[in-house]
Each structure stands twice: as C-alpha cells, then as structure tokens.
Copies of this chain bind each other. A is one copy, B any other.
C-alpha cells in the first residue's frame, strides 16, 4: 500500500482573483509563488499550498507542454482551516479586527485547542485553529 504524505494543495474558487490575492497576502500574510489570469498559488506554510482559482475558468481543463490538467470547479461557501500557534490566537484576533474582518465565532475543543472563524471575500468559512483540535494537531 503506497503512502499519502500530507495534503499539499487546497483550492478555493473565487469571483475576483485580485481581491482574493489581496486578502490572502495582506490580511493572512501568505506569499504568492505563482500568478496567472486564472490561478494564483500561495505558500501556506510547511509545504502546503493555497490555490485561488477564478471561478468558472477551469471547467475545460488546461493543456501545456507538461501535459493536460483535467477540468475542475467549485462553489462555496466551503470550509477550510489554517493551523496557527496557540500563543498567536489573541494577536490574530486583534489583527483581523484591525483589518475590518468580523469574527463570526470562536470555539473551544475538548483537547484544549481553540478555533476562530471568519469569512474571506468570497464567503469561504476560514478557521484559524491552535494545537489541540485533532489527535494529529
């Protein structure tokens, strides 16, 4: 049985690619590694990648010299979570509020972790989670 190492790429499908890149760069602090008209790829840390696709722009697949990328597309408001350090939860809360982001909810988990939920510009439910949410984090 071969092995999956980890989740590498998580994709969001956005209405306005500039707006989404601005949010994930300036509010969330991620760095863009690659940027085209239909896709931005951001370094999300520890070998994970956040892909921002222009919604509806990838429904036909894409050919390039390296091969063919099959079609895909998605609609929200889906959920994903980003890991943060426990001692940065308060800093994140202040930072998001200063950026004009509404904190939609905060949750305490049995294992001691905490989560903070808010929306990105496309309505995705973004969670920031501290260690103690899952057996593996």
In A36-58, the 8 Å CB interface with B consists of: 41, 43-51, 53, 58
Q: Which residues of B contact A50 (CB under 8 A)?
A: 7
Chain A interface (Cβ < 8 Å from any Cβ of B): 1-11, 13, 28-30, 33-34, 41, 43-51, 53, 58, 66-85, 88, 91-92, 95, 104-110, 115, 117, 124-125, 127-129, 133-137
A131 CB, nearest partner CB in chain B, Å: 9
Q: Report how far A125 CA is from B136 CA in the complex, Å.
A: 25
Residue of A47, A127, A129 contacting most chain B CB atoms (<10 Å)? A47
A135 CB, nearest partner CB in chain B, Å: 6
Q: Is the CB of A84 within 8 A of B33?
A: no
